[in-house]
Structure 1
Amino acid sequence: MSSILPRPRFLPPLSVAVLIALTVGLAAGAAAQSWGLPGGETTAGGIAAVGALWLNALKMTIVPLVFSLLVTGIASIADAARTGRLAGKAILWFAILITGATIYAVLANYGLHQVWPIDPEGGARLIAGAPATPDGLRPGAPFSEFVKTIAPANPIRAAAEDAILGLVVFAVFFGFAASRLPESQRLPLVGFFGAVAETMIIIVRWVLLAAPLGVFALALGVGLSAGVGAAGTLAHYIALVVLAQVGLIVLIYPVAMVFGKVGLPRFARAAAPAQVVAFSTQSSLASLPVMVERAVDFLGVARSTAGLVLPLAVALFRITSPVANLAVVIYCAHLFGVEVSFAHIVAGMLTAILVSIGSVGLPGQISFFVSIAPICVAMGVPLEVLPLLLAVEVIPDIFRTVGNVTADLAVARIVQGGDAEADVGGEI
């Protein structure tokens, strides 16, 4: 097995730089709060403008990127489903499990906030000076108003007004409709949106090159108003997002036992090496060779099944996406004191499921904004603290990857079903 294990990947330079920028910005702001800032309000206003400019540069890519990724992602799913019964069965299980994970996400995250709420003083310090809730579905809006937002009367207007759920639903219909076109029409259309998505990703990468400067500017503003007290709230945020994902990972084991008909010790032994690779590399793709080996040699999955289901899972399926993304949005809602109605929750769940399709395979720093910003907009939650949360995303991202790899192995065993080899790697 050692011959196919990739080398552990340490934190990329940009992640390190962003973490340093966050720490230095908070410390510098706290120092300026105590001893004064050269230039006073003028300097503070200029620094805040730099942070706002950087955040707006990220926001401007959200609508075209999400729409393009959804169109190409839906087309890919439709193509995969047409390849045969095994692929169709795998996609059905992807849908079932990601829906269940989304329901779990809402229950678990609200439960965690009941048990371990945000410290009001620390939360107030972190969001000091942040803008009010954006326009959209109003807090407390009745469910009937939510239903009307699902299908936008004017998709262009929906995009302009950040009515993200309606835009996402339109993109899904557009993608499925495009998949029914003749190949001579479908390929150029999907290729066009693929090119748009790649163009937006290049822009986001350019913007993220300035992430240390943008995060520093935003963190300095937080430090000016909150001192170092905001660090405790960030640590609390990390803990809650990680706990939500750990709970999901634990639940995957009984799912594999019940539907995959595999014993707990056997599944745990099979998954452990792949989880170690996922933890060290933060990459499901890097974990793929180990997943195939463990599925075949220890879970009794046929090599042909593993060779189809596991690459398909890496390409289309991220079970931790709605859990972690909703954890971030629900945390922000509690942070800003936004009352999230049932309509908002349903809108957020639908958006989380759909955007998880389009964001699969994107680098973590890009997918963080692409996945979470639309959910924030759909639920009426401000986006302004997302850059600060991006700076500490490297820790939750580890558990995202471990959860995805664990679920991928469970799906491979479930799809194999009764044809699994009973005596491979020990007892079932």
Structure 2
Amino acid sequence: MTILRSLSVRVLLALIAGLALGAAAQTYGGEGARRLIAGVEAVGGLWLNALRMTVVPLVFAVLVTGIASVADAAATGKLAARATIWFAALLVVGCGFTLAFNHGFYAVWPVSEAGAAALRAGAQAPDATAMASATLGDWIRSLAPANPLKAAAEDAILPLVVFATFFGFAITRLPQARALQLTEFFRAVGDAMIQIVRWVLWAAPLGVFALGLGVGLRAGFGAAGVLAQYIVAVVASNLGITVLAFVLAVVVGRVPLIRWTRAVSPVLVAAFATQSSLACLPAMIERTRDELGISPRVTDLVLPLAVAVFRLTSPVANLAAAIFVAQIYGLAPSAVQYAGAVFVALAVSVGSVGLPGQVSFFASVAPICLALGLPLELLPILLAVEVAPDIFRTVGNVAGDMSVTTILGRNRSEATDAAPRAA
């Protein structure tokens, strides 16, 4: 069947099968069945470690190349620089919105203790040292790693991201030939890590099945309701930031709501169907030019640039996933820890643009969890139910791309004087 060709669907089915067999073993199996499942769980642990081993080199490599590409884009001209500023500002706003919305969401609809216990069954407890509150002075001192290699070995992701950020900008100040050599080197490292992750994800149904067996054995289907709550939280977060993109287009871009909705609706349908911002680029250009009357000079630069370096929903959904993990463990990271997590979320949102969906989920959420001192054992389970959130990630991204393009094209000196095509 065509639907089974989708890795996301196969992983979701593997999770359901693992939970069902684990729950059956809990009810009907004996000690032998439990020992067998414990052995199969080890396969899931091996698969998770294979994913984890790529996080540090992949994040470092894509950050360096991503920062270099953004710097190059900003240097191409005033319009590109203004677009980059808008991208950065909206990403920051998205982080603030996510923190406020998700904490409010769980205050109104708390995660049940029984469901949380079911989902974290078998996962390791968070490192108490990592979760210990640090003073502001300690946090500031930790931003610059005294030894970047030690930071990488210890999964100290925030100082590593700071180092990668400085390293990426430093490359842009080198002579062009040397900068190109370094950029291509790290691009090759990133591509190699992505290839490893693709190999590991090829076995994702087996790995998630093995992990799901353990959860099902200890908790039956008790985790299903909590996973549904996670999907609702992430989808609602993405929809919230999509509404913000609509508001900006209407208020700042000065486009009537009906006209904006008419222009963006076919693109949102394409985003829903394809789950790919790149696949939606031709439709975005056509609708922004013809329906909104934005000049080709603006659309032909800003929209491809947005697809290349900007994903509005990336920090939104990734932070929402990390907050959910904290809720499952009943933890409340400090404001200092959340500040570090926001910085990491912003950085990886730039670096992970263009990565395949399943690759970008783990490569983006894992560093945020590490910055908050959270374990990564739940991420494969969340990856298995990422099908619905990923749809709304793409919807929010294309709405953000068109909104920024509309705002930058509102100036009549940059917009066409021709009237838009009649409806």
TM-score normalised by the chain length of structure 1? 0.95
1:84 to 61, 66, 77: 77
| 8 Å contact from structure 2 (residues 50, 200) kept in 1 | yes
Task: Give the superposed CA RMSD.
Answer: 1.6
The one of 309, 322, 331 equivalent to 2:315 is 322
Alignment pair present for 1:370 and 2:363: yes
* Inter-partner Cα distance in structure 2 for 1:252 and 1:240: 19
Paired amino acid for 2:355: L
**1:375, CA displacement in angstroms?**
0.2
Using the TM superposition, give the Cα deviation of residue 137 of structure 1 relative to its aligned residue in structure 2, in angstroms.
4.1
Comparing 279-288 with 224-233, greater Cα deviation is found at 224-233
Aligned to 1:167: 160
**Does the Cα contact within 8 Å between 1:143 and 1:342 map onto a contact in 2?**
no
Question: How many pairs does the alignment contain?
Answer: 419
What do the CA deviations read for 1:275-315 (whole angstroms, capped 9, x no partner)? 00000000000000000001001112101210110000000
- In structure 1, the partner of 2:273 is 280
Match of 2:260 among 241, 261, 267: 267
Distance 1:135 1:302 in 2: 55
Identical pairs, percent: 55
Equivalent residues in 2 for 1:131-210 (5 A)?
A: 131-134=124-127, 137-210=130-203
Q: 1:47 to 1:389 in 2, by over 3 A?
A: same
**Is 1:424 the counterpart of 2:420 in the alignment?**
yes
Q: Distance in 2 between matches of 1:245 and 1:138?
A: 28
Alignment-derived partner of residue 27 in structure 1: 20
Offset at 1:11?
A: 7.3
Tell me the residue number matched to 1:6.
none
Q: Which residue of the other structure, out of 108, 114, 117, is the alignment partner of 1:115?
A: 108
**Structure 1 residue 339: Cα displacement:** 2.0
Task: Give 1:246 shift.
Answer: 0.9
Question: Which amino acid is 2:283 matched to?
Answer: V
Q: Secondary structure at the match of 1:39?
A: helix
Partner in structure 1 of residue 43 of structure 2: 50
Aligned partner letter, 2:125: A
Output the amino acid matched with 2:397: N
Q: 2:242 aligns with which of 249, 272, 285?
A: 249
CA deviations on 1:235-274 (whole Å, 9 max, x unpaired) are 1111111111111111111111222121211111111010
Q: 1:417 deviation in Å?
A: 2.7
Tell me how far apart the structure 2 counterparts of residues 12 and 282 of structure 1 sit (CA, whole Å): 15
User: SS of 1:140's equivalent?
Assistant: coil
- Give the drift of 1:41: 4.2
- Which range moves more in the overlay, 127-136 or 292-301? 127-136
Q: Which moved more, 1:102-111 or 1:137-146?
A: 137-146
Q: Please give the alpha-carbon distance, in whole angstroms, between the structure 1 residues aligned to 2:286 and 2:30.
A: 58
Larger deviation, residues 358-367 vs 135-144: 135-144
Which stretches in structure 1 are left out of the alignment for 5+ residues? 1-8
1:95 to 88, 112, 116: 88
Task: Please say if 1:341 is aligned against 2:334.
Answer: yes
2:62: which partner in 1?
69
Contact 2:3 2:9 (8 Å CA) reproduced: no
Task: Identify the match of residue 105 of structure 1 among 98, 104, 107.
Answer: 98
Cα deviation code 1:14-62 (max 9, x no counterpart): 2221111001000000100000157244313211211110000000000
Matched with 2:212 is 219
1:14 aligned partner = 7
Question: Is residue 178–residue 186 contact of structure 1 (8 Å, CA) maintained in 2?
Answer: yes
2:389 maps to which residue? Answer: 396
Range moving further from structure 2, 124-133 or 25-34: 124-133
Contact 2:277–2:398 (CA<8 Å) still a contact in 1? yes
For residue 130 of structure 1, what is the amino acid of its counterpart?
A
Asked if structure 2 preserves the Cα contact closer than 8 Å seen for 1:137 and 1:344, the reply is: no
Q: Which runs of 5+ in 2 are unaligned?
A: none
Residue 5 of structure 1: aligned partner: none
Of 185-194 and 138-147, the range deviating more from structure 2: 138-147
Structure 1 CA distance, aligned partners of 2:254 and 2:382? 39
The farther-off stretch of 256-265 and 285-294 is: 256-265
1:128 and 2:124 aligned: no
**2:253–2:403 CA contact under 8 A, matched in 1:** yes
Quick one: which of 331, 344, 354 aligns to 2:347?
A: 354
Distance 1:172 1:74 in 2: 7
Q: Identify the match of residue 258 of structure 1 among 236, 247, 251.
A: 251
CA change 1:426–1:119 in 2 (3 A) is: farther
1:301 aligns with 2:297: no
**Distance in 2, Cα, partners of 1:353 & 1:340:** 18
Report the CA distance shift for 1:33/1:41 in structure 2 as closer, same or farther (over 3 A): closer
Q: Which residue of 1 aligns with 2:306?
A: 313
Alpha-carbon spacing, 1:99–1:205, altered in 2? closer, same or farther (3 Å):
same
Inter-partner Cα distance in structure 1 for 2:165 and 2:226 = 37
The match for 1:387 is 380
